[in-house]
Amino acid sequence: MKKAITTEKAPKALGPYSQAIEANGTLYISGQVPVDPSTGEIVEGGIKEQTRQVMKNIGAILEAAGYSFKNVVKSTCLLSDMANFKDMNEVYGSYYQETPPARAAFAVKELPLGVMIEIETIAVK
- In sequence order, what are the beta bridge partners of 28? 21, 122
Choose among 74, 69, 103: nearest CA to 89. Answer: 103
42, 33 Cβ separation under 8 angstroms:
yes
pLDDT at 14: 80
Is the pTM here over 0.85, yes or no? yes
Could you report the per-residue pLDDT of 88-100, keeping only the tens digit for each?
999 999 999 999 9
- 11: confidence class by pLDDT, cuts 50, 70, 90: very high
Establish how many alpha carbons lie within 13 A of residue 2's alpha carbon, considering only the half-sphere containing its beta carbon: 7
Q: Determine the distance from the C-alpha atom of residue 87 to the mean position of all C-alpha atoms in its chain, rounded to a whole number.
A: 16
Between CA 13 and CA 112 the distance in angstroms is 12
Domain residue extents for the chain: 2-124
The predicted pLDDT at position 44 comes to 95
Residue 69's pLDDT band (cuts 50, 70, 90): very high
CATH homologous superfamily of 2-124: RutC-like (3.30.1330.40)
| Mean pLDDT of the residues in the chain | 97
